Structure 1
């Protein structure tokens, strides 16, 4: 059963105690059940997005952009990768408002259905050779549907798991929302690699590539069943009780009004929420999406070896995000994100130098270190910090919109921009390295300007909030 601490000082804006000063204390059972059910949904999202990233340069370009060969075809395929991110902030805006009004659980049910159905239908699409220009058009439409649903999936998972996490282990349990991302990417790669190996290059390019996409239907059904049994977030239930008591305003129906309310409460926190995911997202997508095409197209690594690199990367993402989540429960999430920024900036140049050696063992180690520092540490830390930027009653509207707009403007186009820069510079990787450095510095700015809504009582109960100055206004 969820426990709460008594309210603190009276709230001038309401007839009772300040809801922000109430510390909701979920049980271990709530933490575990939420992490498993929600993390599985995140795995499906990253299975779908990771799968598309794997096939973007290898399959999508020749099948859906006939006549666009070489660098042009690669740019076109990564363009459709970026298109999925265009709809994410729209989905984040609309579904974020619904999450604050309906609850976290029903919106997470909706998001997983949208992503799963769109991914399955991509596996059914006929190629350009069969239906002409309608093929890439339909691909773009399905990517937009994927993106709209994804606008609530990972941000919603972070919110739900964070609000359901035990305070003493908030860092570890919250990080499991992102561990699902690593698991999904790993599963996508295993199925993709197995299918391509068993069928052979010709059969796989002809029809076998559809198998991993169609398998998304199975995963989606399992995810829906798991989430049907999921209880609502304890923090959202507490907000609902406060609303009934007249202590908190009702959630707004209009998504733009809901967004405005979250932004107005603390513009600096919304901006911080926009900036902080930059480093981890850009690092993750450049290493896993652009990096594979760079290894194959520029370095000349055989495709089967490049896929083995991807497999290693997914394992690192899965393991180290949980490791850094546990570390944040010891030293605080703020310090962990500093480790991420500094580590990524220092390692990015050696990383690309090692890629260019073409040595498989060295490449695997270099990519693993890059993702452990630049993605896993930042991912774990931001699952604690981001929810703290917004009060629970408008958390989804603020978190979804800030995080997903960042995805559309910065993270999504990263592989496309990196590819364009490398092409323009004759294959030199330093432009891509520069993108990672800039993105990590944006994360640092976000951490420095943020002023999280954390009470002294909550900080005292939550080791992962160490280093954050309490705020009682």
Structure 2
């Protein structure tokens, strides 16, 4: 619960911003940029939050290898929660002019810095704390709870829009979900104060105190460089493994809602129903895939997800074009189950195994968050630009989804996780991985 509540807040923030981006942020903070230009400006601000993620990943990842996973997860929740509340109190362009989008960008950068340690930190803590025979099941909650944050954001947004007039929502109603994140932040801090350090990091500290393991690097850049030199191919594998699940998720959940509303012509309420269907089913199916990982291996689960996503990419966008709500919901749920849920469950097992415990967070945080800045964050912006390039047709976006999934497949071939014979024998989720001490 303590690990998962932070990812709830992180994804609550990003899910909420994704929902209101094209509907509220553009007219209130970028009023001079109308139509497609305004939408592109809004998604560019969404991507800005990812620019700071690798910086946060590098700095906080090195810190987590020095002082522990728990203190860094305490810090990250504050860095995400406080800026989210401040966005809800931020004056608009009509009140303070150009300072409105500038301050919005600053707050997005602060959120991104904290998020650089949040999800990767939760993955690390849960993976290191889980029993070996159920590692896939427990580790999958790091990703599944993230969707809970997006579900809460969507339900709050839906409830508020149904309760107030469109004018009132644009004036003040949109601020309420951001301000209410203060409650989630306080709950997260209280839970994490009672959280135990991970057993694997505790073992590393004992080894360091006894002089049997090297001390962690104080300089974050040196720490990341050390994690890279330990296995360059593993670092690059860590960079590419999340490509499919992240690229697809941000296309389907962030770009998708704007596309369904603005291009396909679905009412806003129906577009939100589509998103909510993916989120609810995706969180449950992610945990189910985690259990499958504990039977057949996380690597095999990820390959199943890749094959399903590639096969469904073009049919998925063809169904969106029909405007048939029931058909769109069913296809979206199935696509999301393969393209996001399977990859999410599998990578929570494989990513930590790419790096040894003494430098794990330096390697995992940096590789994953540099990926977020270069691939995941720009995905909605790139998808919107590709649609513009084809005069409103989505086929290049389908190709983008396929490319991100194939990048993940390449990473699974490239990576050589550090797995001993004992770990392989005792950890069913590692089946399909070669032994490497």
In the superposition, the TM-score normalised over structure 1's length comes to 0.92
The 5 Å alignment of 1:307-346 reads 307-346=272-311
- Which of 305, 311, 314 is equivalent to 2:270? 305
Q: What is the match of residue 257 of structure 1?
A: 222
Give distance in 2, aligned partners of 1:432 and 1:60.
Answer: 23
> 1:311 aligns to what SS in structure 2?
helix
Give distance in 2, aligned partners of 1:77 and 1:265.
Answer: 39
Deviation digits for residues 137-189 of structure 1 (CA, Å, limit 9, x no counterpart): 00000000000000000000000000000111000000000011111110110
- Which of 43, 53, 57 is equivalent to 2:18? 53
Give distance in 2, aligned partners of 1:316 and 1:82.
Answer: 26
* 2:258 corresponds to 1:293: yes
Q: Which segments of 5 or more consecutive residues in structure 2 lack a partner in the other structure?
A: none
Q: What is the match of residue 137 of structure 2?
A: 172
* 2:360 corresponds to 1:385: no
- Which of 188, 196, 199 is equivalent to 1:223? 188
> 1:215 aligns to what SS in structure 2?
helix
Give distance in 2, aligned partners of 1:239 and 1:39.
Answer: 24
Give distance in 2, aligned partners of 1:134 and 1:424.
Answer: 32
Give distance in 1, aligned partners of 2:331 and 2:97.
Answer: 41
Q: What is the match of residue 84 of structure 1?
A: 49
Q: What is the match of residue 188 of structure 1?
A: 153
Give distance in 2, aligned partners of 1:346 and 1:423.
Answer: 24
Give distance in 2, aligned partners of 1:200 and 1:151.
Answer: 37
Q: What is the match of residue 117 of structure 1?
A: 82
Q: What is the match of residue 277 of structure 1?
A: 242
Deviation digits for residues 394-441 of structure 1 (CA, Å, limit 9, x no counterpart): 000000000000000001000000001101211010111111111000
* 2:415 corresponds to 1:450: yes
Q: CA deviation at 1:200?
A: 2.4
Deviation digits for residues 348-386 of structure 1 (CA, Å, limit 9, x no counterpart): 111001001001111111111111100010000000000
Q: CA deviation at 1:392?
A: 0.2
Q: What is the match of residue 37 of structure 1?
A: 2
* 2:38 corresponds to 1:73: yes
* 2:212 corresponds to 1:247: yes
Give distance in 2, aligned partners of 1:144 and 1:346.
Answer: 36
- Which of 112, 119, 137 is equivalent to 1:154? 119
Give distance in 2, aligned partners of 1:43 and 1:250.
Answer: 33
Q: What is the match of residue 208 of structure 1?
A: 173
Give distance in 1, aligned partners of 2:305 and 2:377.
Answer: 20
Q: Which has the higher helix share?
A: 2
Deviation digits for residues 21-69 of structure 1 (CA, Å, limit 9, x no counterpart): xxxxxxxxxxxxxxx1101111110001110011111110000001211
- Which of 90, 94, 98 is equivalent to 1:129? 94
Q: CA deviation at 1:313?
A: 1.4
Give distance in 2, aligned partners of 1:69 and 1:322.
Answer: 41
- Which of 338, 351, 360 is equivalent to 2:316? 351
* 2:409 corresponds to 1:435: no
- RMSD value, Cα: 0.6
Give distance in 2, aligned partners of 1:449 and 1:56.
Answer: 37
* 2:325 corresponds to 1:360: yes
Give distance in 2, aligned partners of 1:300 and 1:90.
Answer: 39
In the superposition, the TM-score normalised over structure 2's length comes to 0.99
> 2:322 aligns to what SS in structure 1?
coil
Total equivalences in the alignment: 437
Give distance in 2, aligned partners of 1:136 and 1:155.
Answer: 29
